[in-house]
Amino acid sequence: MKSEWLQIYHVVIYLQPFTARTIFMPPVPTQPLSKAQYEALSEFRYQLRRFIHFSESAAKAAGLTPLQYLLMLHVQGFPGRDWATVSELAERLQLQHHGTVALLSRCEEVDLVRRQKSATDRRQVEVHLQPKGLALLAQLAALHELELNSLSGTFQVAKITAFNDVDVPLVNQEPNT
């Protein structure tokens, strides 16, 4: 039963874009959670909230909104390339398409990003970081790496292996060519 609702949860929450109509309540587990499980969930949420608070404060101290920082991070961190489409960014930010477009317009006004038509698919718009955006992102990413390292004993995420592997330097890496 538990694996069934986890699979359903994964499909509903992670594979479908969020909309106001996406409402999901998994079936009530047949066995209640133990005290240790509640403590683990609480600790996870606490550490997650601490990191998010740190991230928001760091972005504001750099003169950015937290969403501007996240947008730049998702552009530069998009798998396999250093740009992303508007739709991909909307998904990563969990925003509606029009909200992402408005955020992009604000970022363009302060020279953080630029939009350009895709050379391969003229229907798509690619978002690229400008030098100013790259510089701000590099500063904030270094701070975030330090914060993540400080949480390494209590906050590990299996799919973020680059942060869990101690031997992998994240700052001042040579770009892939």
pLDDT digits (tens, 9 = 90+) for 42-54: 888 888 899 999 9
Q: What is the CATH number of domain 36-154?
A: 1.10.10.10
Say how far apart CA 145 and CA 151 lie, in whole Å: 10
pLDDT in tens, 77-94: 999 999 999 999 999 999
The pTM assigned to this predicted structure is: 0.73
52 with 106: CB under 8 angstroms? no
Is 70 exceeded by the pLDDT of residue 123? yes
pLDDT at 171: 44
Say how far apart CA 64 and CA 102 lie, in whole Å: 15
% of the chain beyond a pLDDT of 90: 53
Q: Return the HEC string of the chain.
A: CHHHHHHHHHHHHHHCCCCCCCCCCCCCCCCCCCHHHHHHHHHHHHHHHHHHHHHHHHHHHCCCCHHHHHHHHHHHCCCCCCEEEHHHHHHHHCCCHHHHHHHHHHHHHCCCEEEEECCCCCCCEEEEECHHHHHHHHHHHHHHHHHHHHCCCCCCCCCCHHHHCCCCCCCCCCCCC
